[in-house]
Amino acid sequence: MSDKRVAKLSFDGKELELPIYSPSAGPDVLDITKLYAEGDVFTYDPGFTSTASCESTITFIAGGKGELLYRGYPIDQLANESHYLEVCYLLLYGELPSEDELVEFESRVTNHTMLHDQMNHLFRGFRRDAHPMAIMCGVVGALSAFYHDSTDVADPQQREIASIRMIAKIPTIAAYAFKYSAGQAFVYPDNNLDYASNFLRMCFAVPTEEYVVNPILAKAMDRIFTLHADHEQNASTSTVRLAGSSGANPFACIAAGIACLWGPAHGGANEACLNMLREIGTVDRIPEFVARAKDKSDPFRLMGFGHRVYKNFDPRATVMKESADEVLELLGIEDNEILKIAKELERIALEDPYFVEKKLYPNVDFYSGIILDAMGFPTSMFTPIFAMSRTVGWIAQWKEMIGDPKLKIGRPRQLYTGATHRDYVDVKDR
């Protein structure tokens, strides 16, 4: 990694040499770990816009080219030719599985889809109108109270079992959160079905009727899982790593990731995007919202547009758009008002100089919300579906971190601008 090149930094009469690392892709990285010890200075980088927080071999984004690679494989190839569980294997173990390895992996995941029966009671403690993300944060965190035999992070075997359990159980948890809010009976997993079909069935089947999974919808669902499976060191992944760096158990770390993902600037954007389309309401109101998005004095942003890393296009959005067309055609809803608004908004944003100059393209959440809405999911389920898809990425990154001999507890520094030492004054003297 290190190629003996160094960057020289001079300030206040000091001269420091910072080793330069050459990654296999992406910009060179300056090693500043000795900066404080040798230079008595910190670096300042709010939002980590220029800071590599770890070494990783899992996912790479070439934002300028609009490229996303999982272990080197382009996302569009994986979304079109592979399927989610194979992608999970790839992310977790680094290589595509052989046929036997895939069968064995799928069977291991499938055998863990059930929740401990006592967990079913846990759901009932929530209000019926609780947001499914709130339920997921709580229930995923609670896994650590049920599976004590997979919380010792120092034991690779336990880490492995925890990973499989999480991938297997997260669709069951998300579907139960949905069923609970709908006031319907939980539908137990069906281990004869593939991952996506099983999830659809757990969400949409009712005990009184037979439910037949539509293969086109299952394919679209599987693609949504694949497209969201991992995304480098984004906010929720960094949260999982930071939580895990203290040695916290994996279930607690994933619960932390879910909490972070919930925000509207991250995984909550798909829900916020559809709510925005509904608020716009009719095509003739689009200019008003576009004007608000451009107005510096208005905090409003067009949800589903822009990305911190993609400054060309979001390759996930390209695949998701194709899927959206297929699903809407299948369901015969190519002509509804929300879709018309979405298409017009997309057209305007791709032509308007404000969006073009700032490179604000529709991102994956713009299209995923449209598909999930067409499939019959309420907007509140959009982010839980993102969370379940991303669980494998969080786990792969967490495992990579725990296995890294250079692991240190994450402990950022600060640029302190508060009061310096002052003495306490008694309340009656203030």
* 148 near ligand CMC, rule: CB under 6 A: no
Distances (CA, A) of 426 to 38, 423, 430: 42, 10, 7
Nearer to ligand CMC, 169 or 307 (CB): 307
Nearer to ligand CMC, 309 or 331 (CB): 309
* 315 near ligand CMC, rule: CB under 6 A: no
* 266 near ligand CMC, rule: CB under 6 A: yes
Minimum distance, C-beta of residue 299 to ligand CMC, in the bound complex (Å): 9
148 is catalytic: no
Distances (CA, A) of 427 to 20, 418, 420: 54, 21, 20
Q: Would the CA dihedral through 65, 66, 72, 73 be positive or negative?
A: negative
Residues 6+ apart with CB under 8 A from 416: none
Minimum distance, C-beta of residue 293 to ligand CMC, in the bound complex (Å): 4
Binding segment (CB under 6 A) for ligand CMC, from list 101-109, 115-123, 301-309, 371-379: 301-309
Distances (CA, A) of 212 to 94, 189, 309, 387, 403: 35, 14, 40, 25, 42
* 231 near ligand CMC, rule: CB under 6 A: yes
* 59 near ligand CMC, rule: CB under 6 A: no
Binding segment (CB under 6 A) for ligand CMC, from list 180-188, 298-306, 319-327, 400-408: 298-306
* 224 near ligand CMC, rule: CB under 6 A: no
| Edge-to-edge strands, sheet with 67-70 | 59-62, 67-70, 73-74
Q: Residue from 174, 269, 276, 320 that binds ligand CMC (CB under 6 A)?
A: 269
- Give long-range contacts, CB 8 A cutoff, 24+ apart: 347-356: 348/286, 348/287, 348/290, 349/290, 349/302, 349/305, 352/290, 354/293, 354/294, 355/302, 355/305
307 is catalytic: yes
Q: Catalytic residue, from 230, 307, 314, 373: name it.
A: 307
- Quote the CA–CA distance of 285 and 300 in Å, as a whole number: 15
Which residue number is nearest to ligand CMC in terms of Cβ?
A: 306
* 159 near ligand CMC, rule: CB under 6 A: no
Minimum distance, C-beta of residue 352 to ligand CMC, in the bound complex (Å): 10
Q: Residue from 162, 248, 364, 385 that binds ligand CMC (CB under 6 A)?
A: 364
Nearer to ligand CMC, 113 or 234 (CB): 234
Instruction: Say what the alpha-carbon torsion angle 75, 78, 84, 85 is, to the nearest 10 degrees.
Output: -120
Instruction: Please compute, for residue 147, the number of CA atoms within 13 A of its CA located in the half-sphere on the CB side.
Output: 30
Q: Residue from 66, 138, 189, 304 that binds ligand CMC (CB under 6 A)?
A: 304
156-182 vs 99-110: helix crossing angle, rounded to 10:
60
Q: Residue from 21, 308, 325, 340 that binds ligand CMC (CB under 6 A)?
A: 308
Q: Catalytic residue, from 222, 230, 314, 365: name it.
A: 365
Q: Residue from 194, 365, 373, 400 that binds ligand CMC (CB under 6 A)?
A: 365
- Amino acid at residue number 216: I
Work out the end-to-end distance of the chain between its first and last CA atoms, rounded to an integer number of angstroms: 58
Residues 6+ apart with CB under 8 A from 297: none
* Tokens found for residue 130: 């609780």
Binding segment (CB under 6 A) for ligand CMC, from list 35-43, 181-189, 197-205, 297-305: 297-305
Q: Residue from 158, 226, 234, 245 that binds ligand CMC (CB under 6 A)?
A: 234
Contact residues toward ligand CMC (CB under 6 A) are 231, 234, 265-267, 269, 293, 301-308, 358, 360, 363-365
Residue numbers annotated as active site: 307, 365
